[in-house]
Amino acid sequence: MENKVLADIFYEIADFLDIEPTKSSKFEIMAYKKAGLTIETLQEPIEDIYKKYGKKGLMSLPGIGSGLADKIEEFIKTGKIKKYNEFKKKYPIDLRQLTNIEGIGARKAILLYKKLGIRNIADLKRSIEQNKISKLQNFGPKSQDSIKRSIELLEKSKGRILLGVALPLAEQIVEQLKKSNLTDKIEISGSIRRMRETIGDIDILAVSNQSKKLMDFFSELNDVENIIVKGETKTTVWLKAGISCDLRVVKNKSFASALQYFTGNKEHNINIREIAISKNLKLNEYGLFDNKNKFIYCSNENDIYEKLGMQYMPPEMREDRGEIKLAQSHKIPKLVELKDLKGDLHVHTDDSDGENSLEEMAAAAQNNKLEYIAITNHTKSLKIANGLDEKRFSNLFERIDKLNQKIQESANKLILLKSAEVDILKNGTLDLDKKTLDQMDCVIGAVHSYFKMEKNEMTSRIIKAIESSNINILAHPTGRLINERPGYLLDIEKIFEACEKNNVILEINSFPNRLDLNDTNILLASKYNVMFSIDTDSHRAEHLKFLKYGTGTARRGWLAKEKIINSKSLDQLKQIFKK
């Protein structure tokens, strides 16, 4: 999949343009960033769109005009973009890598290159060790310490890509392998099947009576950059997206046990094998065997767990966090499923920083079979996101009323809710007056500034907003961006306690680089009498599909649909908000 590679190039061109500002560069920068976001979050390869529909197909994508379509076409045909190569020749640095470090923008990266010859993170680390950065103007000791912590975070996640990148890629590969007619069964396994927020490699399991042909076909896919190892039962390739992919072929009778073995994490599997041994059985990737090494046929994973005296455990739970004891006592909850969700309570339009109009987002929601969505544009203090003031919200609400009436007249079920993603200001107050807030069906509160406040200050700030009686949902509660920015310092349990006391819902933000709350915080929050909302934070129509990532995260946190407010009907939802 070329999407990630091309998106990164567009982001980097935007950064280079920021280094050399001109009268038109402000608009160019925004155009490249928007196009990068469009390409990065496509759920199909951009080269496939081009093959089917040509340049016109590219121009039908949000934020991509004729000039950017030419750049994409150039990349698809040649693997290069002339404009990008010219910048790289002038500034021979790994700009994307450096600007992933919190506190380093494009201009600071160039300053570091000019003053200290820093081209990449290795150079940056050496300069920190030699205490050189703290002595530079516009940096200082605090900035150097912040950069050091950010490097540590980046290295901790090195080699892992977002679930939102890995899952569509794995699904695409599986779909191509199915179309080859060389497989009888095929499934994604490993950490993707467990819906982990970041993925170290892709694992695919198949049954085939034409194993050699299947491996040849797999090795020659367009997504493959290099073959690492190739055999008839296992082939490992390195994909252009920057991740390895394993394809294993097993016998049909072993498929269930292999899927179980290659799905659970290491600790889960060790404990399951020990339980098998305690019952005079043996379990491995080849099958379940009795004490005389006789094969015991299992048609699926459920059979395996049942023969071990356990209830089936959904893949997302198999992390050795107490799920085995629950399974032994047959108390595994019925987890929320994507089909349970009736709405999305965090959706942006082009009135603030979204890509699509109110009407386009409504049409997309209908296409996704949603019954309601909340229009949650940013508020006035967030100028970078074109936040709305009270007057603009009043106008927007009039448009929502008119569109709702039009939709109802067409006999469609969708209802648009009046809402906003209201900024929680530094002092804990909200960024809109109460008169405007009272016009809304629901209010989302969110922190977008002053991330480096002390722990007690940040906790008090958020609790003040929770206790204001003016917000219904706390959006992306920890503020983290996966692989980019840690969450702000706060006493998370005090936040949960405040939400319980004030009937404020905790959001599970489905955007792939957020997934906030994460699974461990969901498990922690479940000790409190709180509800959750699985939302996409959509900034364009296609983002509504991100609900599957939030649902996966909720399942990793063991949540049943009863705890998810947007699994409720609209009437039930309104009753929850009245509280």
What structural domains does the chain harbor? 3-156 (1.10.150.110), 161-249 (3.30.460.10), 264-328 (3.30.210.10), 338-578 (3.20.20.140)
Spatial contact of 507 and 533, defined as CB atoms under 8 Å apart:
yes
pLDDT of residue 329: 96
Rounded to whole angstroms, the Cα distance separating 146 from 365 reads 41
Rounded to whole angstroms, the Cα distance separating 553 from 130 reads 41
Query: Phi and psi (nearest 5°) for 91?
Result: -125, 90
Query: Phi and psi (nearest 5°) for 560?
Result: -90, 160
Q: One digit per residue, pLDDT tens: the chain, 579 residues?
A: 578 788 889 988 988 888 877 777 778 888 888 888 888 777 678 888 899 999 999 998 888 899 999 999 999 999 889 999 998 888 888 887 788 787 788 888 888 888 898 988 889 989 998 998 888 887 888 888 888 877 877 666 566 889 999 999 999 999 999 999 999 999 999 999 999 999 989 999 999 999 999 999 999 998 898 898 889 899 999 998 888 999 999 999 999 999 999 999 999 999 999 999 999 999 999 999 999 999 999 999 999 999 999 999 999 999 999 999 999 999 999 999 999 999 999 999 999 999 899 999 999 999 999 999 999 999 999 988 889 999 999 999 999 999 999 998 887 789 999 999 999 999 999 999 999 999 999 999 999 999 989 999 999 999 999 999 999 999 999 999 988 788 999 999 999 999 999 999 999 999 999 999 999 999 999 999 999 999 999 998 999 999 999 999 999 999 999 999 999 999 999 999 987
Residue 390: Cβ within 10 Å count: 14
Rounded to whole angstroms, the Cα distance separating 1 from 222 reads 8
Rounded to whole angstroms, the Cα distance separating 422 from 245 reads 42
Nearest to 222 by CA among 23, 45, 434, 425: 45
pTM exceeding the 0.85 threshold for the entire prediction: no
pLDDT of residue 311: 97
pLDDT of residue 191: 96
Q: Which residues pair with 142 in a beta bridge?
A: none
Instruction: Reduce the secondary structure of 140-171 to three states and give it as a string.
Output: HHHHHHHHHHHHHHHHHCCCCEEHHHHHHHHH
Burial (CB count <10 Å: 0-12, 13-18, 19+), residue 299: exposed
pLDDT of residue 1: 53
